Chains A and B, each alone.
Chain A
Amino acid sequence: MTLLDTPRKHGDASDGGAIGARLSRLDGKLKITGAATYALEQPVDGLAYAVLVPATIGAGRVARIDVAAAKAAPGVRLILTPDDDLGLQPATDWNNVRASDGPYVPLPRDIAYNGQPVALVVADSLEQATEAARRLAIAYEEGPVTPGLDSPNAGEGSPLDQLSVAWGDAEAALAAAPVRVEAEYHTPREYHAAMEPHGLIARWEGDRLTVWEPSQWTHSMARSYAEWFGLPPENVRLVSPFVGGGFGSKGFSYGFGAIAAAAARRLGRPVKLAVTRPQNFAAYGGRAATRQSLALGATEDGVLQAIVLRGASETSTVGTWVEQVGAATPLMYAVPNFSARQRLVAVNTVTPGALRAPGKTPSAFAIESAIDELACAVGADPLEIRLRNYAEEDPQARKPWSTRRMREALAEGAEAFGWARRSREPRSMRDGHQLIGWGLATGTFPVIRNYGEALVRILADGSAEVVTGATDIGQGTYTILAQTAAEALGIPFERIDVRLGDSALPGAPVAGGSKLAGVMTGAVQKAAIAARDELIALALNDPNSPFRDTGANTLILADGRISAPRGDGPVVSVGELLGRIGRERIEVRRDTLPDHLQTPEGRFRAWTTMTTVQGPTAGDYSMHSWCAHFVEVRVDEDFGTIRVARMVSAFDCGRLYNPKLAESQWKGGIIMGIGMALLEEGLVDSRNGRVINNNLGDYLLPTNADVPDIRVIDVGIPDPHASALGGKGVGEVGIVGVAPAIANAVFHATGRRVRRLPITLDALV
């Protein structure tokens, strides 16, 4: 070997390892042949079918339910209404807090929102249950309804002081700034609309409960069921091997799950509840509507002097969800004076929840639109103004960035897009009847860290298995954990199997917050290295090992074969070695928990709550993923129709474990951002708080025909602070900044600044 061909490590696939390679999905073949069985497809004998009945008023009470006609319908086995005492206890929330005030009542008499469950009908078949549910005669007493955030009776809500952020004197600096841009930005209710609807199969065997339910967090959801039913945690198993998309909606157990499991217990028969598509718009919450008034003060050159944000978001009257509108605002630009406050307004809706990049997404819509408005106000290029205000460190935490390749993202994105050819003036680019607009915006998502646990088995045939309760919701957990094990073990990727999605398996955090990959690759690597070390120790020491007398003090494991480093001893396959030393398998279980969590209570808390999560500034650095989106829109001059014609987005997500899969996630986030910008809006009937467009024909999602060519560029470098293998989060950052990039492009095309999403043609004509 000469110096020239000494391998150099780049931290990617060019190193020759499995990590960083553009491999196809491990679970791909199952998914393209229809063999991947999702939760509601598990074969369970003797199923009864349940149908949920939602309230049709926005607030008030169930006065009475006449069940006689429904009960008399063919095949009906059980009807649960608010008259039934289900005997449930409250479950612990993600902060590890368990309410102590009385029972948990998932079928209450009081109605807080339209679509709240009021009954469950169980019959021998789905058709029978559906028909019987129609025969329920429900009488309500209607109360006054507050349908939404901007309703006249919604009020100003209550302040969230814990979210207030301030440094310098923002109000004074704003008043004194020579240039000010001030505006109000609105984002509507949006929905996850994962293609797999929610639902579950619940089966009791004595006091043991098995729940097959799509899940982003098997351990925590199993805990909820155990606590509802007063069972020891080990009596509940939640199984979710494949998940048809979650986007934040499948991390938690919901009331419908408690009702269905209670029905199964009462009936003594397994129950399947498929939440219908329309019911998916109220059985759990989507992204809360938000409103932000945002003011920027700057010098005449567009150098920021002050940012003042006053925001509000909606929650329900029965629960608290904060869509944090200031989540991205303080991070994006260097600014000496800053103030952000937020209020929370309770309305008659199901409690909203986490939807891909919660907080960051509406937050970026306002700040990234406003900075574009500032660029216009001072006559600067939108790219240039971002460089003029470049944050060299975290302006809020005053910590250095671990890695922030935003300059590279802007430069490489601009180059690939051809940004330099953009003409500054709005309405200055056209193609016949089409006004062309080029827009830019940036995005961010924090690096969140936590702990995980994995089991690695090396088997007698020389293959290996990775086992953990973490889930794969489409982001690629199966694949990257196999890649991690392959590289650490020196066993080919094709010979690694991965088992996931079962609360009976080793512990893992929620597949949410873009952290699962970073956490679980760390845990699998640790377990795999320990398994490899154990195998090598056996090979060196076992009396029957062919390496026993070679005098080697270590061995090399590569390509499924073991050899001495000098290359002069025997070469045997892993399977052959295990056979010779009479071992069926080597099995190692490892976790990444710190010492203080190495107790039964600590482990349980780590796998079932958010209390062990470390935020992006918990250590010496401020750690985030970053991106820059460049968009071309074409707006029909006469009709105001808007098409996204092309997009280029550049990302810094640290090291990529599998670029092929990471690119898919980036594009998926971008496409959801196109929906947010142009299509998606939950429309609420102001009379009764009903989501009118509660189906996939009326709640518009991007279709194939709405999506142009999207080019994604990786500008990341391994970030050693962010995770064991150097990756930052990939799954959520892609959506952040897309809506403002499109809004900015629409402004460039038309001269109209639209500050209320989605941007529809009525805002342009």
Chain B
Amino acid sequence: MTTEITIELDINGRSETLTLDPRVTLLDALREHLGLTGTKKGCDQGQCGACTVHVDGARVLSCLTLAAQAAGRPVTTIEGLSAPGGELHPVQAAFLEHDAFQCGYCTPGQIMSAVACIREGHAGSDEEIREYMAGNLCRCGAYPHIVAAVRQAAEMAS
């Protein structure tokens, strides 16, 4: 018999108390329990990057993270990226301008990775961006535009 656990998650600055099966991943906690479906499930195996969120400010694959592991640590998802007034984050704005997506399914993960990539100091050149964004697959093939968007956002940030 499964015993449920009660955990407190800090999602986009809001505290959420959840009573969950301990096997629930952070990704499923967001999507199935909190209605935060902006974070995508592309593989559930740590191979595509669609589920990328920030935990303690660093990029993390939420499909490989149990919800319980994130308890008490600040989690940022795509829904928490723009300013409260709705103003787009510079990376989001750059994605829109450069058409850095088509179907949009990999996009939240790409954007969360890109924000971290810039913050990590790994957006110094196109080559470096390609390398440090290589964990986020895009089957629509938006890569060249993603590189352009990250480059522009990185230049604005520096």
Taking beta carbons and an 8 Å cutoff, which residues of A are in contact with B? 24-25, 27-38, 41, 43, 74-75, 125-128, 131, 192-197, 242-245, 247, 274, 276-277, 473-476, 660-661, 663-665, 667-672, 695-697, 701-707, 709-710
Contacts and interface: CB of A to CB of B under 8 A. Distances in A.
Contacts of B1: 74
Contacts of A247: 139
Contact of A35 (B38, B40, B141, B145): B38
A128 B20 CA distance: 12
Nearest to B136: A704
Nearest to A38: B105
A695 B45 contact: yes
25 contacts: A29-B96, A31-B104, A32-B111, A33-B78, A33-B88, A33-B92, A34-B38, A41-B31, A74-B2, A75-B2, A125-B21, A127-B28, A195-B106, A195-B140, A196-B105, A197-B43, A244-B105, A245-B139, A245-B140, A474-B103, A672-B139, A695-B43, A704-B129, A707-B130, A709-B144
A534 to B, nearest CB: 35
Nearest to B92: A32
B111 to A, nearest CB: 6
Given A38-B105, A196-B103, A704 B143 contact: yes
A75 B80 CA distance: 33
A25 B96 contact: yes
B43 A696 contact: yes
B83 to A, nearest CB: 11
Contacts of A245: 102-103, 105, 139-140
Given A25-B96, A25-B99, A74-B1, A274 B41 contact: yes
Contacts of A696: 42-43, 45, 47-48, 137
Nearest to B107: A31
B: interface residue count bin: 35 or more
B62 interface: no
A128 to B, nearest CB: 7
Nearest to A125: B21
B125 interface: no
A33 B79 contact: yes
Given A74-B1, A703-B137, 11 more contacts: A32-B88, A277-B42, A474-B102, A474-B104, A667-B142, A696-B45, A697-B47, A704-B134, A705-B131, A705-B134, A707-B130
Contact of B2 (A38, A43, A128, A697): A128
B60 interface: no
Contacts of B142: 664, 667-668
A32 B107 contact: yes
A125 B45 CA distance: 19
Contact of B141 (A125, A128, A667): A667
Interface centre among A35, A247, A704, A709 (most CB of B within 10 A): A704
Given A34-B77, A43-B35, A704 B147 contact: yes
Contacts of A702: 141, 143
Contact of B143 (A24, A28, A74, A707): A707
Given A669-B141, A696-B45, A661 B99 contact: yes
A75 B78 CA distance: 32
Given A127-B23, A195-B50, A31 B134 contact: no
What are the 10 closest A-B residue pairs judged by CB atoms, nearest first?
Answer: A34-B38, A244-B105, A31-B104, A474-B103, A671-B141, A474-B102, A668-B141, A34-B78, A41-B37, A705-B134
Interface string B52-78: 000000000000000000000000011
B146 interface: yes
B37 A701 contact: no
A537 to B, nearest CB: 39
A664 B102 CA distance: 7
Contacts of B45: 277, 695-697
A84 B21 CA distance: 30
A274 B134 CA distance: 26
A126 B24 CA distance: 9
Contact of A34 (B108, B134, B137): B108
A707 B142 CA distance: 10
Nearest to B42: A195
Contacts of B41: 197, 274
Nearest to A697: B47
A126 B142 CA distance: 32
Contact of B44 (A37, A277, A670, A704): A277
B104 A242 contact: yes
Contacts of A707: 130, 141, 143-144
Contact of A668 (B40, B95, B102): B102
Interface centre among B21, B38, B88, B103 (most CB of A within 10 A): B103
B17 interface: no
B146 A36 contact: no
A196 B138 CA distance: 10
Contacts of B133: 704-705
B97 interface: yes
B82 interface: yes
Contacts of B143: 671, 702-704, 707
Interface centre among B24, B101, B139, B144 (most CB of A within 10 A): B139
Nearest to B35: A43
Interface centre among A28, A30, A131, A195 (most CB of B within 10 A): A195
B102 A195 contact: no
Contacts of A194: 103, 105, 139
B141 A126 contact: no
B16 interface: no
B28 to A, nearest CB: 6
A581 B139 CA distance: 50
Contacts of B101: 28, 31-32, 474
B94 to A, nearest CB: 9
A128 B97 CA distance: 43
A476 B105 CA distance: 14
B59 to A, nearest CB: 14
B96 A24 contact: yes
Contacts of B147: 704
Interface centre among A29, A276, A707 (most CB of B within 10 A): A707
Contacts of A665: 102
B32 interface: yes
B34 to A, nearest CB: 11
A33 B145 contact: no
A83 to B, nearest CB: 28
Contacts of A274: 41
B43 A670 contact: no
B37 A37 contact: yes
A612 B31 CA distance: 41
Contacts of A126: 28, 32
A93 to B, nearest CB: 27
B105 to A, nearest CB: 3
B76 to A, nearest CB: 11
A37 B31 CA distance: 11
Contacts of A125: 21, 24
A32 B112 CA distance: 10
Contacts of B138: 195, 704
A24 B97 contact: yes
Contacts of A27: 104
Interface centre among B24, B107, B111, B141 (most CB of A within 10 A): B141
